[in-house]
Amino acid sequence: MAQRVQGTEDLFGSYMRAWQRMQDVAREVFGTYGFDMIETPAIEQVATFVHGIGESTDVVRKEMFRVFSGALVESLLAKGSESGLKAKQRLALRPEGTAGVVRAAVQNNLVPQGSAPAKLWYAGPMFRGERPQKGRLRQFHQVGVEWLGAPDPAADAECIVMLMQFFERLGFPSQSLRLSINSMGDGACRPAYREKVRAFILDHADQMCADCLERAELNPLRAFDCKNDHCHAVMAGAPLAPNNLCEDCAEHYEQVKRYLDEAGVCYEEDPTLVRGLDYYTRTVFEVEVVGSGVGAIGGGGRYDGLMELEGGKPTPGLGFAVGFERIVLALESQGVLLGEDSQECVYVACTPDVRSSVFGTVLALRNAGIRTEADYQGRSLKSQFKQADKLGATICVVLGTDEVERGAATLRNMRTHEQVEVSLSDLAKRVAEQLA
Ligand code: HAM
């Protein structure tokens, strides 16, 4: 039997309905904040991710799935190196949505000079070559938003408020959500802060793991995320970002917190929250569900330098993304199911001699917008009823020889088993009345 790739999932039935429901809630909630949907390709030039996410991040260095056509693989094997490849031949599956959306905003001039900010949301599969485990997949699904052209701290606070509303609309009890925030500074204060952290790690080199020593060279702030308990304990004494902000960043962060307080949003300040993508400046945030054991269900922040890194004019930006698969697991930990098991439907059953009448009856009900099922396998009337039960039908329309001759049908309420005869000419109307 053919197998699906490890760390990927098939979406069908109630799981698929949950993914659709999540997008419906996103459309409703983000729509009230003025966001429109965008869809960018799942495949982009490697450069788009290297510029945006950062060359030294794990996502770019270790987790990005590179894409080569068969012909290109043959020529690479013959040459033994990819050094001669042009940028347009270096392709990757997107590990996240932000870099591609920002690339699209630059390429399509979505934030022209003097215009209002672009407010975009998206939903789709992302790909990271991580070691698969619970809540960590190689193909997973994100819903995300990007807000381009808004430097005001009110935008950071609105983004966070919108994210929390989205989670509550999905069914998370508000006390189950833990929101952490931090400020990582900007081009003015972060370089000096990064050097301080690098110096701290090197001062404690004998107590840190080999990965952290490598991080000290490439990306010292990532040492805050080291899973090694010992490194974690050492990093507890490292210089913290909020104590190393320039005046503008400190004021921006204070204003974000004042707005969050005004909105009544509960948050925890986590001065070690650094996030795994290099494009962030100033506000960063993450949401976890207490006790769910699946890690962050969403995260994001401000990225005021990203438009420029992708070749555009300097334009501030911010956004977040949430992970569908982790949200489903986290909701389950709270006893909430996102996709209903089955959907209400009507079943048209018949005796064998009037089978040909089913076709038109089903058509009439569906034309009236009623979800309708019937038998296409020549089952007996008894097993048609069983099938109707399995499908969760609330009403059975029964066509028998006598009824059809009289231009009538029997409506059978599947819960109460009450039956009434109705005329076929106003069947759809009568079924709709009963469903209501
Ligand atoms: P991220 O934190 O890398 O941020 O991913 C966002 C969410 O995607 C995570 O909180 C998690 O729920 C989910 N996720 C990430 N990796 C996996 C995985 N391997 N398996 C399952 N779920 C996963 C971003 O991607 C940024 N682009 C967010 C953003 C948008 N920042 C600004 N705008």
List, for residues 249-264, the tens digit of each pLDDT value: 999 999 999 999 999 9
For residue 322 the two structure tokens come to: 């949430």
**Integer Cα distance of 193 and 239 in angstroms:** 8
What's the gap in Å between 108 CA and the centre of ligand 1?
A: 25
Contacts of 97 (CB under 8 A, 6+ apart): 40, 122, 124, 126, 142, 144, 146, 321
Beta-bridge mates of residue 84: none
pLDDT of residue 25: 97
Q: Which structural domains are found in the chain, ordered by start?
A: 13-189+245-333 (3.30.930.10), 345-435 (3.40.50.800)
Q: Determine the pLDDT at residue 220.
A: 94
pLDDT recorded at residue 341: 66
On average, the pLDDT of the chain sits at 95
The confidence score (pLDDT) of residue 56 equals: 86
Ligand 1: does its nearest atom lie under 6 Å from the Cβ of 304? no
Asked whether residue 342 carries a pLDDT value surpassing 70, the answer given is no
Say if residue 183's pLDDT is above 80: yes
pTM of this structure? 0.93
114, pLDDT greater than 90 = no
Q: Could you tell me if the CB of 96 is within 6 A of ligand 1? A: yes
Average pLDDT score over residue span 90-104: 98
| Shortest-distance atom of ligand 1 to CA 144 | 30
**How far are the Cα atoms of 148, 182, 280, 312 from residue 238, in angstroms, in the given order?**
33, 15, 20, 35
Least confident of 42-46, 78-82, 105-109: 78-82
Tell me, in angstroms, the distance from the centre of ligand 1 to residue 185's CA.
21
CA of 350 to the centre of ligand 1 (A): 51
Query: Ligand 1 within 6 A of 144 CB?
Result: yes
Which residue among 30, 63, 140 has the greatest number of ligand 1 atoms within 8 angstroms of its CB, and so is best to mutate? 140
98 lines ligand 1 (CB under 6 A): yes
